[in-house]
Each structure stands twice: as C-alpha cells, then as structure tokens.
C-alpha cells in the first residue's frame, strides 16, 4: 500500500487542479462575456457534467495504477480528494474575484434578485421583498459563499465518486 499512496496523491492533486482550472476558465469566460450574473440552470448542469467526467477519469486512472483493482472506499477517497482540491482552489478564486475583481458582485446580485422578485412575484409586498433580501444578505459575503461552495463541491463529489466507484469497482481475486 505504501507504493500506491504516492500515485493516488498525485492523481488526486492532478485531477483536482484540472477540475479547478476548467471551472475557473468557465467562470472567467462567463465574466468576459458579461454573463456572470446569469443564473442559468444549463451552466450549472454543464459544470456538474465537467465535474463528473473529471472525477470519473481520476478514479479510473487510480484503478489503472492499482493493477485494475478498485474498492468502493478507494474510489470515494480519490473522488472526494479531487473534489476537495478543486473546491479549495475554487474558493481561492472566488475570494479573489469577490474581493478584488468584482467587489460589488454580491450587491449587484441582490439587485438582480430584487428585480426578479418584482417581475416574477407581483403579489409580494415591498416588506416581503425586503425581508427576503435581508435574509439573502446574511449569505451574501465571500466567506459564506465560499463555505457553501466547499460544501456543495464535497456533496456532489461524494455522489459522483459513489456512482463512479460502483461502476468501476473491481475487487482482488480471493
């Protein structure tokens, strides 16, 4: 097991960096196109698919390094490791983005939310809208946003790792 831990760590770091780089590139592209305020579910799905593909490839590579043997626990370890590395790099990017590149990002998002509520929920009173926005402001800072980003990445990383592990699992012959 000693000789297997080094390639596993390398796989986790390499694929975590790849996932983070693709995610950041996607975010930078959206920013450059002026679409970083759009909350399109298709972009979320696209990001999830990218995450699933990269984690699956990382787990598959770990299986190859281990003589084509993979336990579910190993798959979870590699997949969660990839998700964690990518999330940590993503958090650093998010903090840089929200503090230096676009410091008004959260305020602008709150204004977009206000406009969406006015357009989509005409029966809401001004007090109800303000109450919802005040609740949203509690979560509208880079640190809370980063915490949710980390938790979300680990949650989806776990699900992807579990499914990938079940697909790729192959125990050693007894």
Domain boundaries, the chain: 2-102+146-168
Does residue 2 have a pLDDT over 60?
no
Q: Which has more confidence, 143 or 108?
A: 108
pLDDT at residue 171, rounded to an integer: 83
The Cβ of residue 35 has, within 10 Å, a number of other Cβ atoms equal to 11
Least confident window among 13-17, 43-47, 97-101, 137-141: 137-141
Q: Alpha-carbon distance 110 to 73, whole Å?
A: 42
Q: Which has more confidence, 138 or 71?
A: 71
**Relative orientation angle of helices 126-139 and 105-120, to the nearest 10 degrees:** 150
The Cβ of residue 56 has, within 10 Å, a number of other Cβ atoms equal to 21
Does residue 27 have a pLDDT over 60?
yes
pLDDT at residue 29, rounded to an integer: 94
Q: Where are the alpha helices (DSSP H) in 33-71?
A: 41-65
By CB atoms closer than 10 A (0-12, 13-18, 19+), residue 28 is middle
Does residue 60 have a pLDDT over 70?
yes
pLDDT at residue 65, rounded to an integer: 94
Work out the angle at residue 156's Cα, subtended by the Cα atoms of residues 94 and 103, and round it to the nearest 5 degrees.
15
């Amino acid at each position: 097991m000693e000789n297997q831990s080094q390639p596993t760590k390398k796989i986790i770091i390499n694929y975590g960096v790849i996932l983070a780089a693709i995610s950041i590139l996607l975010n930078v592209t959206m920013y450059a196109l002026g679409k970083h305020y759009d909350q399109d579910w298709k972009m979320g799905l696209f990001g999830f698919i990218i995450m699933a593909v990269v984690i699956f490839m990382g787990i598959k590579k770990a299986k190859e390094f281990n003589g084509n043997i993979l336990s579910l626990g190993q798959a979870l370890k590699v997949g969660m490791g990839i998700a964690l590395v990518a999330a940590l790099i993503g958090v650093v990017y998010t903090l840089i983005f929200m503090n230096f590149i676009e410091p008004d990002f959260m305020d602008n998002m709150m204004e977009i939310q206000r406009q969406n509520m006015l357009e989509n929920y005409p029966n809401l009173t001004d007090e109800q809208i303000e109450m919802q926005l005040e609740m949203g402001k509690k979560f509208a800072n880079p640190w809370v946003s980063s915490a949710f980003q980390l938790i979300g990445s680990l949650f989806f990383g776990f699900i992807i790792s579990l499914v990938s592990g079940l697909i790729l699992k192959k125990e050693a012959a007894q």
